[in-house]
Amino acid sequence: MPPAVDIAEVTAGYRGHPVLREFTATIPGGRVTALVGPNGSGKSTLLGVLAGVITPTAGTVRRHHLRRPAMVVQHSGVPPTLPITVRETVAMGRWAQRGAWRRLTWEDRAIVGACLDRMAITDLAERRLDSLSGGQRQRALLAQALAQESDLLLLDEPTTGLDSAAQQEISDAVRHVGAHGVTVVHATHRREDALRADYCLLLRDGRVTDHGDPRTVLRAANEPEAARPPSLHRHRHQPVPHKW
């Protein structure tokens, strides 16, 4: 598969504060890529760059995907009193194609129904979003992203704050989406989710310190510093890596 995105020497951040520093990486197309690394390493900023909502101050981002990226927010980011149903939530994903004020076509409604079914939440379609469990809300948000029919799906720690059963459901859903040719990039702190990916980027201090097969990357991240190849040694100012 050709790459979905090539990133070269990118510097990006917030209000003049760089988070990514001369960041270089390739996101493989049609695969699931896991972003791992300690808090503050740049995972969320990278997702923002991929989504197009954060503009780099230096470097280049070459996009090979064909459609606008779809970003899935964490379920906890949804206002708890938002008075909309699950079906209406998923239908909002069609706004990227239809606009917020135009009526949905028969085709739009069919796509919404298919996305509800794909995430196994058709039976929840008429329930209010604020009445659902965290895992159910996250599946609804994932269905909303799928309704955009994007070929690049971005998720920022989608299993955070969920119980173990819901974490497994979302992990399975992400894997299912990736198996159908969509490029998926998700940030995660869960070793289990990272190991289920096809590809892994390890971030520290706004740079990629390792990439490739998830098992190899996570194993190298846990090796004592003296046992690592020179390219993987931490500098003194770098934080102690998260144990995977």
User: Residue 226 has what pLDDT?
Assistant: 40
Q: Residue 65 pairs with which residues in a beta bridge?
A: none
User: Residue 163 has what pLDDT?
Assistant: 84
User: Residue 80 has what pLDDT?
Assistant: 63
Q: Report the chain (244 residues): mean pLDDT per 10 consecutive residues.
A: 92 91 95 94 95 94 91 69 87 77 86 92 93 88 90 90 84 84 92 94 95 93 54 40 52
- Cα–Cα distance between 193 and 138 in angstroms, integer? 16
Q: 72: helix, coil or strand?
A: strand
Sheet strands side by side (includes 58-63): 17-28, 3-14, 58-63
Q: Please report the domains of the chain, with CATH numbers, ordered by start residue.
A: 1-69+151-244 (3.40.50.300), 77-149 (no CATH)
User: Residue 239 has what pLDDT?
Assistant: 42
Specify whether the CB–CB gap between 36 and 242 falls below 8 A: yes
Pairing of strands 17-28, 3-14: antiparallel
Full-model pTM:
0.83
Q: How many residues does the chain have?
A: 244
Q: 36: helix, coil or strand?
A: strand
